[in-house]
Copies of this chain bind each other. A is one copy, B any other.
């Protein structure tokens, strides 16, 4: 029996009659001692069943642990089902991995208190936070930890400044302009009766369903707010009264919500001829409802998405391509730079591109 309690550096040191520091060096700084002694130390370590230097203790002393936290708006389990989230993680990992940094996926939770605790307790050197609402306590907790941070999409830089973290690296796109671009395309095709299917506007859902202008303006998810504003900009450009445009918002970005949203907005009178969706996954559900109602796309109904994520190409979806993967890359890169001592990089806006496929066309002649 080697031992009943954990074997530590000190145990090996005593066994061999050398200092603890020498044992430490045998593992972490081989050049600091003779090969002969080093071999002896390692052999003794093996014999005693020493698990190697405890990374936790080493991390405490060194001040870094080689891990980057990733906090996402929704739970982890949701994240892995959303191709956009997965792509973000993929991007993050391509930069983190060569740097030898692990990614700690911070558990989300319905329970607000535990959600915060998870961020507070994460053992990491820095954190990427993504897609959080302006009023999410998670943001406050993350900033409050005074940990190097990098933000993807939301909260916006101005909100970060408000929270006392003005130089936080931020990566995102111009959501308003991108949304205006896709709406502009649809309107240019001649559509005048449009509707919107959006994911959540607020963290705490007052009521899912159609939402009026006041509700839209009060959205605490900056991305949702800005995309709606972009649609509205485009509508204003051709003289459409926004008050008459049905806007549905559901809980999250899933086909199920999209399907429900489509049912809701297509029930309004006059029936819209084009639906703008704030994500491709929503659009996927919209297409499903359209099929169920016997509406041909795009002959009877045009549908546009957002993201150009996994299902879009296969579905022939007109959408806005955004560099999700690059967002993950840039966020981690900025974080690593900061950890290496460079100053905060500030906001960085990546380009987007309208992708026209077959889900949009001229409105039906009615």
A interface list, Cβ under 8 A from B: 49, 51-52, 54-60, 65-67, 69, 75-77, 79-81, 86-87, 89-90, 93-94, 96-109, 114, 117-118, 120-123, 144-147, 314
Contacts and interface: CB of A to CB of B under 8 A. Distances in A.
A90 B120 CA distance: 23
A120 B67 contact: no
A120 B52 contact: yes
A49 B146 contact: yes
A254 B155 CA distance: 36
Contact of A56 (B49, B65, B69, B314): B65
B55 A121 contact: yes
B97 A75 contact: yes
B100 A118 contact: yes
Max count, chain B CB within 10 A of own CB: residue among A77, A122, A123 = A123
Number of copies: 2
B122 A93 contact: no
The 9 closest A-B pairs by CB, nearest first: A80-B90, A76-B93, A77-B94, A97-B107, A51-B146, A103-B105, A55-B121, A104-B104, A51-B145
A52 to B, nearest CB: 6
Given A67-B104, A100-B114, 8 more contacts: A60-B60, A76-B97, A76-B103, A77-B94, A93-B107, A102-B105, A102-B122, A123-B123
A77 B100 contact: no
Contacts of A144: 51-52
B114 A93 contact: no
Contacts of A86: 80, 86
A204 to B, nearest CB: 20
Contacts of A96: 76, 107
Nearest to A57: B60
A54 B108 CA distance: 20
B109 A98 contact: yes
A317 to B, nearest CB: 15
B114 A107 contact: no
Nearest to A147: B51
Contacts of A121: 55, 58, 65-66
Contacts of A56: 56, 59-60, 65, 123
26 contacts: A49-B146, A51-B146, A51-B147, A52-B120, A52-B144, A52-B145, A55-B123, A56-B59, A56-B65, A60-B60, A66-B121, A76-B93, A76-B94, A76-B96, A80-B87, A80-B89, A80-B90, A93-B107, A97-B108, A102-B105, A102-B106, A103-B107, A104-B104, A104-B105, A123-B123, A314-B314
Contacts of A57: 60
Contacts of A314: 314
A135 to B, nearest CB: 19
A147 to B, nearest CB: 7
